[in-house]
Structure 1
Amino acid sequence: MAAIVLLGDINIDLVLDIPAYPPEGGEAIATAQRHMLGGSATNTAIALSRAGHDCRLIGRVGQDAWGQQALSSLEDIGVSTAWIGRDPSEPTQTNIVTVGKSGERTMFAYRGANAHLSPAFIADDVFGDAALFHLSGYALLQSPQSDAAMRAIELAQEGGIPVTLDIPAGVALSVAPQVCNLLPKLDTIMLGGADLAPLAGGGSDTPAEEAIRSLLHQGVKRIALKHDAAGSSLYQNAGVESAPWFFVAAVDTTGAGDAFAAGHIIGRLSGLPGAECCRLANAFGAVAVTRQGAGTSMPALAEVMALIGADNGNRPEKAGLREELERP
């Protein structure tokens, strides 16, 4: 399987199930509490590692118990921690994640050691024989981590390694200037429909097709777009291909976008057609929302293929997907 380098946040999530959100100054009594490994790039790395890939995570944790727990959990899963540093002054990032009755998550975070990753910590050898570099959009929020991300992109480019960028919901406006400068260097960007307009430099009323054309014109090769209801699509200069969402009972949406990114990366490296990349990404996201939290709860490829298989019914044209994914 392929070697994949990832750069982004590593954190511990304190997940609270909240039956109802109080007004500011009020109180809510949680019905359950969990501590879990998290972080956008971390979640994607875990899903990719469980699919058999050699994942090398670049990041930073504190010299504290949470940091040691994160490193131990990643090592147990098989994600390489050789390029994760320990910060002497900042703590490991902790997220407070509240999950409402619908399964939708709300997140509060102190970025801690993650934001202090600097270009000096990016070692050239991490990209040796790598097939792809994946970057989480959170890494573009502030310096020096954003500078480290730029350095990593430079190294990937020098090695002819394609770069994918996941733009989590809610940060598109904050990272838009950096992303616009990066578009010619990117193979794939992954984002939600609501984040298209700010990323393309238009207003909220900018038509989606116009924003997509603008991004492709600026140099990005592939746009993996999550629609609100219809499913997801992969846009390229050659055209657009799509796949519908899977219908599952949502328990917790934490990490769904990170799982979606893993599906697209696997499809991209396996050479799947655009529609099958979308279908695989949708299935990864669907399995992710059926369990609590992210991190070590991220889906395994066998679980994703079981969902796709159950949904295929009598469509024999989909029968070769597993064989495509399992090719050396």
Structure 2
Amino acid sequence: MTSEARYDIVAIGNAIVDVIAQADDAFLEEEQLVKGSMTLIDADRAKQLYRDMGAAREISGGSAANTLAGASTLGRQCALIAQVADDQLGEVFTHDIRATGIDFDVPTISDDPPTARCLILVTPDAQRTMNTFLGASQFLAPASVDADLIASGAILYLEGYLWDAEEPKAAMALAIDIAQENNRKVAFTLSDGFCVERHRDDFIGLIQGGKIDILFANEDEIKSLCETEDFDAAVAQTAKQVETLVVTRSEKGAIAVHKGKSCAVDAEPVEKVVDTTGAGDLFAAGFLSGYIEDRSPEDCLTMGAVAAAEVISHYGARPEADLQKLLAQRLG
């Protein structure tokens, strides 16, 4: 057993560069896109959609990477395991993640397939519709999982988005085993309703098998997981099977059930919601930062809510304001 943790959070996730553009509902309809959804696309579709979407900005993303970026801003020591290609976007992602103070040392692969990218269309109501080409991320091999690195992290954080391909799925399963052998906490985010629909049996197997200590979900995901429209029933059912359940509910705030005791917080006020991309990722960053500091579940939820409110007030899924200052003002 490794007694001292070098890192607060070690995450495994997609290495993605977000390409963000504004769009109206008519464009979504023309492209047969479901507003607010995340769809996996192939290389040809990625090229076509990139060609037809409006002027865009490129910002490094990836769900777990976004969470680490927020956690690092809050003073946490973090490391990422993810796969990029030896290409321009791979260089962009690597530079950006290291610039935030996160350790990232997985060797690149050749430039075919290229580094993953997510084409994000933001409508005037701030809803984001994501179209993801996973590219090199799908080829994160179990050999990339450094056992010593996993053992040196207090929390192993995993994203459901990466569960589609066999190699990263095997890598995450290996990492869970290593973390548990070293008495580390395992946190998992369901990521999106489509992930739950595709992998419900696997996710339930992880939960019921005692592989997950901290589970993150939003309201739709937790109901889909339990195949019920009864939110309270879904929460009650799932909370019995994990140490900590965290469920975000957009403008209705968030709840946590920790060792059978539940609590809730309201959403933080936002002057104007600009882009909801990364809201759940930053919520996890705030919550886990509080968890590492051994704060109360209420404080952890508040920290998550503050971080989420900051990221939805601007374009992109990485924080721009000083989160530590915002939390100091909020929590004292």
TM band (smaller chain)? 0.7 to 0.9
Q: Deviation of residue 128 (structure 1)?
A: 4.1
- Conservation of the 8 A alpha-carbon contact between 1:47 and 1:299: no
Q: Deviations over 1:274-314 (max 9, x none)?
A: 1111111111100010111124x4554225316x53xxxxx
- Conservation of the 8 A alpha-carbon contact between 2:139 and 2:167: yes
Corresponding residue to 2:131 among 108, 129, 142: 108
- Conservation of the 8 A alpha-carbon contact between 2:161 and 2:192: no
Matched, 1:175 2:199: yes
Q: Deviation of residue 273 (structure 1)?
A: 1.1
Q: Secondary structure at the match of 1:96?
A: strand
Match runs of 1:38-187 below 5 Å = 38-82=61-105, 84-88=106-110, 89-170=112-193, 171-183=195-207, 184-187=210-213
Q: Deviation of residue 133 (structure 1)?
A: 0.8
- Alignment-mate amino acid for residue 234 of structure 1: A
| Bigger relative contact order, structure 1 or 2 (CA pairs below 8 A, ≥6 apart) | 2
Q: In the superposition, relative to structure 1, how do residues 300 and 185 fare at CA in structure 2: closer, same or farther (>3 Å)?
A: farther
Q: Deviation of residue 85 (structure 1)?
A: 3.1
- Conservation of the 8 A alpha-carbon contact between 1:99 and 1:252: yes
Q: In the superposition, relative to structure 1, how do residues 251 and 228 fare at CA in structure 2: closer, same or farther (>3 Å)?
A: closer
Match runs of 1:8-27 below 5 Å = 8-22=13-27, 23-24=29-30
Paired with 1:81 and 1:114, the residues of 2 have a C-alpha distance of 14
Unpaired runs of at least 5, structure 1:
310-317, 320-328
Q: Deviations over 1:227-253 (max 9, x none)?
A: 244210001343210100012011111
Q: Deviations over 1:88-124 (max 9, x none)?
A: 2321001111111111111101101111112122111
- Conservation of the 8 A alpha-carbon contact between 1:46 and 1:298: no
TM-score (norm 2): 0.85
In structure 2, the partner of 1:323 is: none
Paired with 1:130 and 1:120, the residues of 2 have a C-alpha distance of 18
- Conservation of the 8 A alpha-carbon contact between 2:8 and 2:292: no
In structure 1, the partner of 2:219 is: 193
Paired with 2:138 and 2:321, the residues of 1 have a C-alpha distance of 27
Paired with 1:108 and 1:238, the residues of 2 have a C-alpha distance of 37
Corresponding residue to 1:6 among 8, 11, 15: 11
- Conservation of the 8 A alpha-carbon contact between 1:19 and 1:31: no
In structure 1, the partner of 2:237 is: 214
Unpaired runs of at least 5, structure 2:
1-5, 33-48
Q: Deviation of residue 196 (structure 1)?
A: 1.4
Matched, 1:279 2:302: yes
TM-score (norm 1): 0.86
Q: In the superposition, relative to structure 1, how do residues 30 and 109 fare at CA in structure 2: closer, same or farther (>3 Å)?
A: closer
In structure 2, the partner of 1:267 is: 290
Q: In the superposition, relative to structure 1, how do residues 111 and 299 fare at CA in structure 2: closer, same or farther (>3 Å)?
A: farther
- Conservation of the 8 A alpha-carbon contact between 1:189 and 1:224: yes
Paired with 1:127 and 1:13, the residues of 2 have a C-alpha distance of 27
- Conservation of the 8 A alpha-carbon contact between 1:4 and 1:134: yes
Q: Deviation of residue 87 (structure 1)?
A: 2.0
Paired with 1:117 and 1:20, the residues of 2 have a C-alpha distance of 35
- Conservation of the 8 A alpha-carbon contact between 2:186 and 2:211: yes
Q: Deviations over 1:159-209 (max 9, x none)?
A: 100011112232222222221111112111111111112213x3x43x222
In structure 1, the partner of 2:279 is: 256
Q: In the superposition, relative to structure 1, how do residues 40 and 187 fare at CA in structure 2: closer, same or farther (>3 Å)?
A: same
Count matched residues. 304
Give the % identical residues: 24
Paired with 1:132 and 1:70, the residues of 2 have a C-alpha distance of 23
Bigger mean CA deviation after superposition, 20-29 or 39-48:
20-29
Considering only aligned residues, what root-mean-square deviation do their CA atoms show, in Å? 2.2
